[in-house]
Amino acid sequence: MMHLVQLHQALYEQRMDAPVLAFSFAPAERFMRWIDLALEAEMPREWRANTRFIADSSLRIYRAYGLGRNSPLRVYGPRILLHYALRWLRGHGIPKVVEDPLQRGGDFVVDAQGRVALSHVGVDQADRPPVERIIAALSGSSSL
């Protein structure tokens, strides 16, 4: 969630008008509930209007971009456990796992011609490329 807000902040600061697509393998009703709860408080309405949220419970898009599954050790490794420990210490609690925790995520930039300008398949759920790398791909100054 925080990564999505940071990306929109950078797009706003760079005055880039790039639509953002956010995919989830959660069923549509659960994904929409997450959007309503999580984003309403953290993302200005005009940024939200530039984002399309797409439920992909069939995993068709995930498979098309090579997003397979992780091992349990990778999913519950030290980095993720630290993330959850910090959440707990800050009083945010630990979210209940509802969907498949082994499904890999990723970040992709697709240019106007349909070419993949950036491909980042996460090694775990917290692995996202730096926002600066996404902005560079959007501006055409980055390669895969």
At 91-115, the pLDDT tens digits run 988 877 778 889 998 999 998 888 9
Query: How much is the pTM?
Result: 0.74
What is the reported pLDDT for 93? 82
Mapping DSSP to helix (H, G, I), strand (E, B) and coil, where does residue 106 land? strand
34-57 pLDDT, tens per residue?
777 766 667 777 777 778 889 999
Mean per-residue pLDDT over the chain, rounded: 84
Q: Residue 117 — left, alpha, or beta (φ > 0 → left; ψ -120 to 50 → alpha)?
A: alpha
Q: Above 50 in pLDDT, residue 144?
A: no
Percent of the chain with pLDDT over 70: 93
**CA quadruple 3, 67, 92, 20: dihedral sign:** positive
